[in-house]
């Protein structure tokens, strides 16, 4: 079950609205309780997974009410067998009810420090979710409990217990936090030693980075930076200053950018070229230094901001970004969602539509995956909130760049909406441009 609040992408100061989306359907705040009852009694759903998103933007009163309704009506009712609980602490900042669920489920988080401190039991999680804010809170907690660097690291060792283990650590990175003395929103520094000790003591096997624009992480704290005990790291800092982890190794690293704006833009897929780069071309080299791995998969956004112009240039930019540092022994794959308009251009002299070519170095690889279904609310184009999310089928094609000598393989899986492919192209135009990019979608 998914319960979420959807801010408008152009909204700077977010004003709480009087509706949320439950399972992709718009529900007025006053009707939520009735809807939960309906689901658990009339429909009889068995809730195993609850994901709440961006609910910290709700007004305070409704926030608490919703938190309690989720516990009493969903978890206490049809959610007796809850396996995953994600995001709920955003509403309560960590409470006993939530930490009790953490004790029994397989996937939980993002953890607040107070919840982490209740985890003194021994347990293996399938997934644990943490945030950059938690890393900061842990660093500051350890500093506050000690008198010097040595004492601080001893405190850190006692805070992160090896009785807990998790197969996958999901790290939520807020790319739009504010520094108290700066105007620009950015991804803020994280204390490296805190991340490293978590990865080691929890015996993490794979990592997922969840890049997000809208969170109420808000102001970041800078106190810990004044102590020089911890090494500050950011995924968008110049990679040459990031030290490579010597003994850690992960089976793979996944990156989710469905809720990202800045990071996605940094990979070259936004229509606006005027925006200042934010250093995300350092992303892959930094991932390999912090979380050593030979396999990275990245899901670019399919809804907040998707590419609209010039597929040839976008694919070249992406290749340029991912090979900024020469990678050895890396298998990288990326899902890239684009509008169909990206494959055409209008010749200014003849005023006729032309089809763009496949970017240099890529070649089409026939594989049999080739479609996926995604839901989205089209609020980038239309200023309205639909009653229900659109559910759309995307058709994909794989384009590969291979460097055999360096054991580097890059698969860029490009997706276009099935609907747009069916409507968009006349056969004659496709025949006129036999080497077009979009032609591969009709083979
Ligand atoms: Zn709670
Ligand atoms: Zn994975
Ligand atoms: Zn846009
Ligand atoms: Zn082809």
CA 89 to ligand 1 centroid distance, Å: 5
CA 381 to ligand 1 centroid distance, Å: 35
Q: Is the pLDDT of residue 344 over 80?
A: yes
Q: Which numbered ligand comes closest to the C-alpha of 380? A: 3
Residues 188 and 298 in one domain: yes
Q: What is the pLDDT of residues 184-216, one digit of tens each?
A: 777 788 999 999 999 999 999 999 999 988 776
Contact 224, 230 (CB under 8 A): yes
CA 253 to ligand 2 centroid distance, Å: 6
Cα–Cα distance between 54 and 176 in angstroms, integer? 14
Residues 141 and 68 in one domain: no
Higher-confidence residue of 342 and 51: namely: 51
Q: How high is the pLDDT of residue 177?
A: 80
Which is nearest to 7 in space by CA: 255, 215, 185?
A: 215
Q: Is the pLDDT of residue 271 over 50?
A: no
Classified as helix, coil or strand, 16 is coil
Nearest-5° angle of CA 126, CA 130, CA 136? 155
Residues 311 and 240 in one domain: yes
CA 205 to ligand 2 centroid distance, Å: 9
> Average pLDDT for residues 410-432, to the nearest whole number?
89
> Average pLDDT for residues 23-36, to the nearest whole number?
94
Cα–Cα distance between 285 and 239 in angstroms, integer? 6
Residues 351 and 242 in one domain: yes
Residues 224 and 171 in one domain: yes
CA 309 to ligand 3 centroid distance, Å: 11
Residues 24 and 132 in one domain: no
Residues 61 and 199 in one domain: no
Domain that includes residue 79, residue range: 1-93
Number of domains in the chain: 2
Residues 5 and 137 in one domain: no
Cα–Cα distance between 392 and 408 in angstroms, integer? 33
Residues 236 and 249 in one domain: yes
| Residue that finishes a domain, picked among 59, 93, 127 | 93
Contact 204, 168 (CB under 8 A): yes
CA 282 to ligand 2 centroid distance, Å: 21
| Residue that finishes a domain, picked among 93, 124, 153 | 93
Q: Which numbered ligand comes closest to the C-alpha of 306? A: 3
Which is nearest to 81 in space by CA: 49, 112, 58, 52?
A: 49
- Cβ neighbours of residue 258 under 8 Å, at least 6 residues apart? 299, 301, 302, 303, 304
Residues 183 and 45 in one domain: no
Q: How high is the pLDDT of residue 42?
A: 75
Residues 304 and 418 in one domain: yes
CA 412 to ligand 4 centroid distance, Å: 14
| Residue that finishes a domain, picked among 55, 77, 93 | 93
Q: How high is the pLDDT of residue 302?
A: 76
> Average pLDDT for residues 170-192, to the nearest whole number?
84
Residues 88 and 139 in one domain: no
Is the ipTM higher than 0.90? The answer is: no
Q: Which numbered ligand comes closest to the C-alpha of 250? A: 2
Q: What is the pLDDT of residues 129-171, one digit of tens each?
A: 999 999 999 999 999 999 999 999 999 999 999 999 999 999 9
């Amino acid at each position: 079950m998914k319960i979420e609040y959807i801010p408008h992408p152009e909204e700077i100061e977010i004003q709480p609205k009087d509706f949320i989306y439950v399972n992709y359907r718009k529900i007025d705040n006053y009707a939520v309780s009735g809807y939960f009852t309906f689901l658990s009694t009339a429909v009889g759903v068995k809730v195993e997974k609850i994901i709440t998103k961006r609910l910290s933007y709700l007004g305070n009163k409704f926030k608490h009410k919703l938190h309690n309704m989720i516990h009493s009506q969903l978890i206490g009712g049809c959610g007796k067998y809850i396996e995953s609980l994600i995001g709920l602490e955003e509403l309560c900042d960590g409470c006993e009810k939530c930490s009790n669920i953490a004790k029994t489920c397989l996937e939980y988080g993002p953890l607040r420090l107070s919840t982490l401190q209740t985890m003194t039991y021994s347990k293996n999680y399938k997934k644990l979710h943490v945030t950059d804010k938690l890393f900061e809170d842990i660093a500051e907690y350890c500093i506050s409990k000690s008198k010097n660097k040595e004492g601080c690291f001893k405190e850190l060792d006692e805070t992160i217990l090896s009785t807990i283990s998790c197969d996958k650590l999901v790290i939520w990175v807020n790319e739009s936090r504010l520094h108290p003395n700066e105007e620009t929103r950015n991804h803020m520094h994280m204390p490296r030693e805190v991340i490293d000790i978590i990865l080691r003591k929890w015996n993490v096997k794979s990592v997922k980075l969840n890049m997000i624009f809208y969170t109420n992480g808000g102001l970041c704290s800078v106190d810990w930076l004044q102590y020089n005990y911890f090494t500050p790291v950011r995924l968008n800092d110049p990679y040459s200053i990031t030290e490579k982890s010597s003994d850690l190794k992960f089976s793979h690293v996944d990156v989710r950018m469905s809720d990202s704006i800045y990071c996605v833009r940094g990979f070259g897929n936004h229509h606006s070229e005027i925006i200042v780069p934010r250093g995300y071309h350092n992303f892959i080299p930094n991932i390999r230094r912090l979380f050593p791995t030979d396999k990275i998969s990245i899901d670019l956004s399919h809804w907040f901001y998707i590419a609209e112009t010039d597929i040839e240039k976008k694919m070249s930019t992406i290749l340029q970004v991912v090979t900024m540092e020469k990678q050895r022994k890396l298998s990288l794959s990326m899902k890239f969602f684009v509008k169909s308009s990206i494959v055409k251009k209008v010749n200014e002299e003849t005023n006729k539509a032309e089809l763009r070519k496949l970017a240099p170095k890529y070649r089409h690889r026939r594989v049999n995956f080739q479609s996926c279904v995604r839901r989205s609310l089209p609020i980038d184009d239309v200023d309205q909130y639909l009653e229900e999310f659109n559910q759309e089928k995307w058709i994909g094609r794989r384009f590969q760049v291979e460097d055999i000598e360096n054991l580097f393989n890059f698969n860029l899986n490009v997706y276009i909406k099935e609907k747009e492919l069916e409507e968009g192209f006349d056969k004659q135009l496709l025949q006129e441009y036999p080497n077009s990019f979009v032609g591969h979608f009709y083979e």
